[in-house]
């Protein structure tokens, strides 16, 4: 297996080129799961629990059945009948039209025995709080991380700071909701699913339905966003399959926006109590954190502290806390934005206490050589030297400030398999059971194949998003590119070798002499033979050349660094924070496509701004229902909130392909918070940083 060519020899990789499915997407021809239709298809929906904690005494579906157009009903979708959050699946129905479906859902008569519930992190932690699981404390046993000796570290410290930070629950809420269109073909189940893992869903659904793997097929040609929430098989798919069986008809079941908000995952909230010690020279000596977070009825609310900076003595105790809410799921850089919001503010507080510039303080405590370079590049481009030293020094009610934060990520990827077919007319097909979440995977596959075969992008037909194709893992954790790109390279290389053998024989040269370049196959050296790609493939006559390849070592790596600089404007009359400008330096390894890479970084930053300023799941304390399961009151950054964003891609092609999706969303909220402090001289220690909090903080400062 050979290494990647040097960047200067690349024709496609590392360059800017539009995605290959762009035209399909801008014309509406791209068919998502939500767009799948089959003759006789029914519309399915799930009835969610109305209460956050209850026993289901009885579900009467007789009214539902009496509505003309209702074709299938399930009242046994909950395994125990003991529900633990509003929206938890308790029944389902399929009907002939969306209108009838909406009406049918309102005709279930459900008798509940209501039970006490607890909704918020800090309330659920109290001894008297109702238990989410009767035999378990709401507060889980701690997970402890320890490095060095934290007592000694604090003893060495000359300055010790303590502070507390809070972050909110954020919902992935992709625009295409979770859901499936399913139909039975005999005893085989065909599933169109909006998923980040066609193979994972096949395995999961087969297990849940107790079916052999080969009788389940999962397809996802295009998907409308996931951000981590679509990595697992969905109960909605099982429900759709059962409804389809009962009605003997295809069923499309897409969650409505409310259930999307309630049941398909979230980024857990956090409470972080932090103590940090440093020497006068700016060396951090010790870090202690006690953190809590709620993943609803699930686990995995960890806060990845300390994040980014190198500290010799660390102790971190974390407790997951149960609440009556839907379980968390991975959300772009799980555990990291929560940690970064707290960490970056602690760093700034300490820098201020030590009388150091925040950037200098970071440089002193950041051991990552890539980021050391990135800090300088970003600071220069951003104009960090123009940051005012004294916070809140602008005259007038509208004040500006600057702040910064760092990003980090760990996983690489592995494990992808792929296959390639080359036909005698020169056409090329690549098959890989991965999926394109909008990151550009389909395009990257074409790019790697074209680069390796010396062809153009448009000559490669890419087939992905089908569990019939060679296995690839879930697209999550920024693992897709480092996992898929090497597999495609390996597959293309094998194809080249096979084709090379045929041509070597044809020209009677050694196979090593065959070169694939610019649409030609060339015998290098003395032979000076040359055939166009198409002519060369003609030698295959009617045979199809089919090769299989897989991920291999040395073409991708893990570990990502980056940093961001933010400039904000705070209106002290209204409490509103406006982000004016973000400069991001993103660690990219070998870039597959500069255009889609920039888009990913933009996206991470914009979701970070949204997290910093707007988004928050809000539960009504009286009913346990979410008051804002919609895009009116669950607020998301729109065009008017989008600042000027400058993305600087920091290439290190020698590292091979790395994943870049998660890191850019990590530091944004912390960088903004630090900029807000720089603007108004008050720290906002809780997310989202909404006008009410800013006005309150300003009022407290005055008082």
Partner 1 sequence: MYNFEYLNPTSLEEVSEVLAHSDGETVLLAGGTDLLDRLKEHLLRPRQVVNLKNVRELYTIERNEGLTIGALVTIADLAADAYIQENYPALSQAARSIATPQIRNMGTVGGNLAQRPRCWYFRGVEYRCLKKGGRKCYAVEGLNKYHAIMGGGPCYIVHPSDLAPVLIAYGARVTISGANGTREIPLEQFFQLPAKDLKKENVLNENEMITRITLPPQPENTYSLYLKFKELESHDFAVVSVAVVLHTRKKRITDASLVLGGVAPIPWKIPEAGALLKGKELTEPAIQAVAEQSVKGSDPLPQNGYKVHLTRNLVRRALTEIQQQL
Partner 2 sequence: MSEKKNNKVKGITRRDFLKGLGSGAIGSAILTGGGLIPAESKAELLGPGAEKIHGTQKIELLINGKKERLTVEPRTTLLTAIRDKLHLTGTKEVCDRGQCGACTVLIDEKPMLACMMLAVDVRGKAITTVEGLSGSGKLTPVQEAFVEKDALMCGFCTPGFVMAATALLKKNPDPSLEEIKQGLAGNLCRCGTYPKVFEAVKAAAAKMRKGVAHE
Residues that bind partner 1 in the complex, under the rule CB under 8 A: 50, 99, 102-103, 106, 397, 573-576, 614, 618, 620-623, 625, 627-628, 632-633, 635, 637-641, 690-692, 695-696, 699
Stretch touching partner 2 by CB under 8 A, among 205-213, 375-383, 633-641, 650-658: 633-641
Classify each residue of 622-651 as buried b or exposed e, where b means 16 or more C-beta atoms within 10 Å of its C-beta: eebbbebbeeeebbebeeeeebebebbbbb
Of 268, 325, 278, 264, the closest CA to residue 306 belongs to: 278
98 binds partner 2 (CB under 8 A): yes
Residue of 19, 267, 304, 362 interacting with partner 2 (CB under 8 A): 19
**Closer residue to partner 1, CB minimum distance, 134 or 395:** 395
Contact 575, 639 (CB under 8 A): no
The one of partner 2, partner 1, none whose footprint includes residue 80, by CB under 5 to 8 A per kind, is none
Residue of 1, 3, 9, 18 interacting with partner 2 (CB under 8 A): 18
Q: Is the peptide bond before 306 cis (omega within 30 degrees of 0)?
A: yes
The one of partner 2, partner 1, none whose footprint includes residue 573, by CB under 5 to 8 A per kind, is partner 1
Of 339, 335, 344, 343, the closest CA to residue 402 belongs to: 344
- Which helix or strand (DSSP H or E) is residue 243 part of? helix 235-247
616 binds partner 2 (CB under 8 A): no
Per-residue 3-state assignment (H helix, E strand, C coil) for 318-378 = EEEECCCCCCCCCCCCCCHHHHHHHHHHHHHHHHHHHCCCHHHHHHHHCCCHHHHHHHHHH
**Closer residue to partner 2, CB minimum distance, 42 or 453:** 42
**Closer residue to partner 1, CB minimum distance, 508 or 639:** 639
Of 420, 422, 429, the closest CA to residue 542 belongs to: 422
In whole angstroms, give the CA distance from residue 41 to residue 244: 9
31 binds partner 2 (CB under 8 A): yes
188-193/216-219 β-pairing:
parallel
7 binds partner 2 (CB under 8 A): no
- Where do we find the tokens 């007038």? 396
Stretch touching partner 2 by CB under 8 A, among 333-341, 539-547, 602-610, 675-683: 602-610
28 binds partner 2 (CB under 8 A): yes
**Closer residue to partner 1, CB minimum distance, 35 or 641:** 641
The one of partner 2, partner 1, none whose footprint includes residue 692, by CB under 5 to 8 A per kind, is partner 1
The one of partner 1, partner 2, none whose footprint includes residue 625, by CB under 5 to 8 A per kind, is partner 1
Q: How far is the CB of 601 from partner 1 (least distance, A)?
A: 22
Output helix, strand, coil percentages for the chain, rounded to the nearest 5.
30, 25, 40
Residue of 367, 390, 639, 700 interacting with partner 2 (CB under 8 A): 639
In whole angstroms, give the CA distance from residue 32 to residue 459: 24
176 binds partner 2 (CB under 8 A): yes
Q: How far is the CB of 292 from partner 1 (least distance, A)?
A: 22
Site for partner 2 in 222-281 (CB under 8 A): 222-225, 227, 254, 256-257
Contact 516, 387 (CB under 8 A): no
Secondary structure of residue 23 in the 3-state scheme: helix
196 binds partner 2 (CB under 8 A): no
Q: How far is the CB of 573 from partner 1 (least distance, A)?
A: 4
- Phi-psi group of 14: left, alpha or beta (phi > 0 → left; psi -120 to 50 → alpha; rest → beta): left
Q: How far is the CB of 633 from partner 1 (least distance, A)?
A: 6
The one of partner 2, partner 1, none whose footprint includes residue 174, by CB under 5 to 8 A per kind, is partner 2
The one of partner 1, partner 2, none whose footprint includes residue 26, by CB under 5 to 8 A per kind, is partner 2
CB neighbourhood size of 139 (10 A): 17
In whole angstroms, give the CA distance from residue 305 to residue 338: 9
10 Å CB burial of residue 342 (0-12, 13-18, 19+) is buried
Q: How far is the CB of 175 from partner 2 (least distance, A)?
A: 4
Q: Cα separations (Å) of 226 from 133, 172, 433, 483?
A: 29, 7, 17, 19
> Tokens in use for 614?
């707007």
Q: Cα separations (Å) of 29 from 25, 33, 180, 468, 472?
A: 6, 13, 19, 23, 26
In whole angstroms, give the CA distance from residue 508 to residue 96: 66
75 binds partner 2 (CB under 8 A): no
Residue of 4, 13, 32, 291 interacting with partner 2 (CB under 8 A): 32
630 binds partner 2 (CB under 8 A): yes
The one of partner 2, partner 1, none whose footprint includes residue 69, by CB under 5 to 8 A per kind, is partner 2
Site for partner 2 in 47-66 (CB under 8 A): 62-63, 65-66
In whole angstroms, give the CA distance from residue 541 to residue 551: 30
Of 123, 169, 197, 200, the closest CA to residue 327 belongs to: 169
Stretch touching partner 2 by CB under 8 A, among 231-239, 405-413, 504-512, 605-613: 605-613
Binding mask 129-168 for partner 2 (x = CB under 8 A): ----------------------------------------
**Closer residue to partner 1, CB minimum distance, 451 or 616:** 616
* Longest pairwise C-alpha distance within the chain: 90
The one of partner 1, partner 2, none whose footprint includes residue 225, by CB under 5 to 8 A per kind, is partner 2
The one of partner 2, partner 1, none whose footprint includes residue 383, by CB under 5 to 8 A per kind, is none
221 binds partner 2 (CB under 8 A): no
Q: How far is the CB of 620 from partner 1 (least distance, A)?
A: 5
Q: How far is the CB of 36 from partner 2 (least distance, A)?
A: 9
The one of partner 1, partner 2, none whose footprint includes residue 144, by CB under 5 to 8 A per kind, is none
What is the torsion angle, in degrees rounded to the nearest 10, for the CA atoms of residue 78, residue 79, residue 83 and residue 84? -120
Q: How far is the CB of 90 from partner 1 (least distance, A)?
A: 15
Stretch touching partner 2 by CB under 8 A, among 4-12, 219-227, 511-519, 617-625: 219-227
List Cβ neighbours of 4 (8 Å cut-off, separation of 6 or more): 10, 13, 489, 555, 590, 653, 656
**Closer residue to partner 1, CB minimum distance, 248 or 633:** 633
**Closer residue to partner 1, CB minimum distance, 281 or 632:** 632
- Which helix or strand (DSSP H or E) is residue 449 part of? helix 441-453
> Tokens in use for 6?
């040097």
> Tokens in use for 621?
């304390």
Q: How far is the CB of 645 from partner 2 (least distance, A)?
A: 5
Interface residues toward partner 2, by CB under 8 A: 18-19, 21-23, 25-32, 34-35, 37, 62-63, 65-70, 97-100, 103, 107, 109, 173-177, 222-225, 227, 254, 256-257, 437-440, 595-596, 598-600, 602-607, 610, 630-632, 636-640, 642, 645
């Amino acid at each position: 297996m050979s290494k990647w060519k040097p960047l200067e020899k690349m024709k496609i990789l590392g360059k800017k080129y539009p995605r290959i499915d762009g035209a399909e997407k801008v014309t509406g021809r791209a068919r998502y799961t939500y767009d799948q239709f089959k003759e006789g298809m029914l519309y399915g929906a799930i009835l969610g629990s109305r209460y956050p904690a209850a026993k289901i005494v009885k579900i009467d579906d007789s009214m539902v059945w009496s509505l003309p157009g209702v074709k299938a009903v399930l009242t046994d979708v909950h395994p125990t009948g003991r529900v633990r959050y509003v929206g938890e699946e308790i029944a389902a129905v399929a009907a002939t039209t969306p209108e009838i479906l909406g009406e049918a859902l309102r005709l279930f008569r459900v008798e509940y025995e209501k039970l006490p519930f607890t909704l918020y992190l800090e309330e659920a932690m109290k001894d008297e709080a109702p238990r989410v699981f009767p035999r378990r404390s709401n507060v889980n046993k701690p997970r402890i991380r320890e490095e060095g000796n934290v007592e000694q570290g604090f003893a060495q410290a000359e300055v010790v700071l303590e502070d507390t930070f809070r972050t909110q629950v954020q919902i992935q809420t992709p625009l295409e909701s979770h859901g499936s269109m399913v139909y039975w073909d005999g005893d085989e189940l065909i599933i169109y699913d909006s998923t980040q893992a066609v193979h994972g869903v096949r395995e999961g659904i087969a297990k849940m339905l107790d079916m052999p793997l080969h009788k389940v097929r999962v397809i996802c040609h295009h998907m409308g966003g996931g951000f981590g929430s679509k990595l697992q098989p969905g109960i909605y798919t099982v429900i759709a399959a059962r409804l389809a069986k009962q009605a003997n008809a295809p069923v499309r079941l897409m969650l409505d926006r409310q259930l999307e908000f309630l049941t398909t995952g979230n980024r857990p909230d956090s409470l972080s109590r932090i103590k940090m010690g440093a020497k006068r020279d700016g060396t951090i000596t010790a870090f202690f954190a006690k953190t809590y977070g709620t993943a609803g009825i699930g686990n995995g609310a960890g806060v990845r502290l300390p994040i980014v900076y190198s500290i010799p003595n660390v102790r971190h105790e974390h407790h997951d806390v149960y609440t009556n809410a839907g379980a968390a799921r991975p959300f772009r850089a799980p555990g990291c934005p929560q940690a970064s919001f707290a960490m970056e503010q602690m760093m700034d507080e300490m820098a201020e206490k030590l009388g150091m510039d925040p950037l200098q303080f970071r440089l002193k405590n950041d051991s990552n050589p890539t980021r050391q370079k990135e800090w300088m590049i970003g600071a220069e481009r951003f104009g960090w030297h123009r940051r005012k030293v004294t916070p809140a020094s602008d005259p007038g009610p509208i004040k500006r400030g600057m702040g910064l934060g760092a990003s980090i990520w760990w996983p690489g990827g592995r494990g992808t398999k792929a296959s390639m077919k080359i036909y005698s007319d020169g056409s090329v097909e690549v098959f890989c059971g991965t999926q394109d979440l909008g990151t550009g995977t389909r395009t990257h596959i074409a790019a790697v194949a074209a680069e390796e075969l010396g062809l153009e992008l448009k000559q490669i037909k890419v087939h992905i998003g089908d569990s019939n194709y060679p296995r690839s893992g879930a697209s999550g954790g920024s693992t897709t590119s480092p996992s898929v790109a090497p597999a495609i390279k390996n597959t293309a290389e094998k194809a080249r070798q096979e084709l090379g053998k045929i041509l070597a024989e044809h020209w009677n040269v050694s196979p090593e002499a065959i070169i694939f370049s610019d649409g030609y196959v060339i015998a290098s050296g003395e032979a000076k033979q040359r055939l166009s790609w198409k002519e060369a493939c003609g030698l295959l006559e009617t045979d199809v050349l089919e090769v299989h390849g897989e991920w291999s070592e040395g073409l991708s790596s893990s570990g990502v660094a980056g940093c961001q600089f933010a400039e904000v404007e705070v209106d002290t009359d209204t409490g509103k924070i406006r982000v004016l400008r973000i400069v991001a330096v993103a660690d990219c390894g070998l870039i597959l496509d500069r255009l889609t890479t920039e888009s990913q970084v933009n996206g991470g930053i914009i979701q970070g701004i949204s997290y910093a300023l707007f988004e928050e799941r809000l539960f009504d304390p009286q009913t346990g229902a979410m008051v804002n399961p919609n895009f009116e009151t669950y607020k998301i950054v729109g065009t008017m909130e989008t600042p000027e964003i400058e993305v600087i891609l920091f290439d290190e092609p020698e590292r091979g392909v790395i994943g870049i999706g998660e890191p850019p969303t990590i530091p944004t909220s912390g960088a903004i918070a630090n900029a807000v402090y720089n603007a108004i001289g008050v720290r906002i220690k809780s997310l989202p940083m909404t006008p009410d909090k800013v006005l309150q903080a300003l009022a407290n400062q005055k008082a």
